[in-house]
Amino acid sequence: MKKIVFASFFVFSYLVTHAQKDFQGMAVYESKTSTADFKSRFEGNKEITPEMQKMIEERMKKMFEKTFFLNFDKSASIYKEEEKLETPGQGQGGFRMMSSVMGGGGTYYKNVKDKTYTVDKEFMGKEFLVKDSLRTYNWQMTGETRVIGGYNCFKATTVIPASKTDFRNFRPKKEEEKKEDKAKEETKEGTKTSFMDQIELPKEVTITAWYTPEIPVSQGPEGYWGLPGLILEVNDGKTTILCSKIVLNPKDKAEIKAPSNGKEVSQKEYDEIVIKKMEEMQEMNSGRGGGFQMRMSR
């Protein structure tokens, strides 16, 4: 009898360990960013025809509303934007440049065991491989609960510094604010106006996350992680990322590995490259008689 019990326990332990080792899941996320601040830049502009206004809104929707797939196991995950065919003329000019720093467009690999991430990014026609340590979030548990997609979720919040290269945090300055800044700068001899002077960026961003302990993996969309359950929704005030579908142990397993193409840089180095390039473009536009502008091809 003891032998039978021991054998049963051994088989059960093997099956549990094997199941954990092979465990994998897939989650679909819908990301939507508020465009109110950007739309206000075009409202009331007599030079913009109704046709141009419609085109702008359509392209902005493509930039600010996206679908992503997260494939995850117990220790790692890959987060990728849904691939879509571009129509002729789509993604040109300023919109293409902006789209490259709007999140997505590559593979975001997180390893929560090693606390590292790797993401391949394309910016201004060049490929970069950003490798760095995962951010440590100081999550505060609130005790609030809600149901998302049939899963019981708990609320957690944290405050982080705003990224200088995540355009979703940006708000273009109003003309009145630009005139005030220009007047101040004119009093300073030899002072140049940089790209960062053309926009407003909050110092901090409050993150609200909803996670479910029913899927006990410390994963989530983009770079979010560190909670005792899969994060199903994230909101930073302007952008909401909501899980719309979950498949546990799908038949077709995804290969969860870090991307490897591109020039390897740290997150700080990549941010400096982006800001420098944006300032160079602003100087080029200033040479034509204007400040930094988003140029759009029809």
In this prediction, residue 294 carries a pLDDT of 42
Q: For residue 94, give Cα distances in angstroms to 171, 245, 260, 295, 298.
A: 16, 33, 28, 5, 11
- Reading the block at residue 263, the tokens are 């020039």
Q: Which of 232, 236, 244 is nearest to 33 (CA)?
A: 236
Mean pLDDT by 10 residues, the chain (298 residues): 41 40 91 71 63 68 86 96 66 50 73 96 90 97 96 97 76 56 54 57 90 97 97 93 96 93 94 86 64 40
Per-domain residue ranges of the chain: 23-287
Predicted pLDDT of residue 11: 34
Nearest to 232 by CA among 207, 208, 211: 211
Please give the pLDDT value at position 15: 36
Per-residue 3-state assignment (H helix, E strand, C coil) for 137-170: CCCEEEEEEEEECCEEEEEEEEEEECCCCCHHHC
